[in-house]
Amino acid sequence: MTTATDVRRFVLHRAADPAALLRAAVRRTRPGGLFAVVDVFADADPLVAEESNRLERLRDRGHRRTLTFGEIARLVEDSGATIEGVSTRDRPVGLATWLERAPSGARLEIGRRIDDELGGGPLTGLHPFRDDDGSVVLVRHRVTVVAWHP
């Protein structure tokens, strides 16, 4: 069965094979139809990206790997689709909220790592800052790629 539109929302970072997932989305989209991919994206610096993925896996066992912006765009193009448009946005999320589903031991380790970055230590890729009330906020980078099946 094919559809005129298909949306893949926050699944690439959980997929064992993101390329296969996108190829399947193109197959399900009829020629001339659109599909969209919405997900978070990692820092282009491989060391920073690896650290953010390590912290994400501590927080969420289902997390595989957050791709970079460039990797997501390449995978969409390699799936046989033509990119129609791309938009990005930053979404702030409180550290306490982000950690709600993390195991307690992971919360402590992640919290220490965030404090380290806030104190001038190595980047985590989670872009933490202190809000006006002193609470820690992370900035999650999101991308939306709209593509059509030729």
Task: Please report the DSSP string for 43-111 in residue order.
Answer: -SSHHHHHHHHHHHHHH-TT---PPBHHHHHHHHHHTT-EEEEEEEEEEEEEHHHHTTTS-HHHHHHHH
Residue 62 has pLDDT above 80, yes or no: yes
Residue 25 has pLDDT above 90, yes or no: no
Q: Please say whether the beta carbons of 39 and 89 come within 8 A.
A: no
Q: pLDDT at position 133, please?
A: 97
Range of the domain at 99: 3-148
pTM of the predicted model as reported, rounded to 2 decimal places: 0.89
Q: How confident is the prediction for the chain on average, in pLDDT? A: 93
Q: pLDDT at position 8, please?
A: 62
Residue 81 has pLDDT above 70, yes or no: yes
Query: Residue 66 belongs to a domain with what CATH number?
Result: 3.40.50.150
Structure-token match 């920073």, residue found:
48
H or E element in which residue 34 lies: strand 29-40
Give the pLDDT band of residue 40 (cuts 50, 70, 90): very high
Q: pLDDT at position 45, please?
A: 97
Give the pLDDT band of residue 6 (cuts 50, 70, 90): low
Q: How many distinct structural domains can be found in the chain?
A: 1
Give the pLDDT band of residue 11 (cuts 50, 70, 90): confident
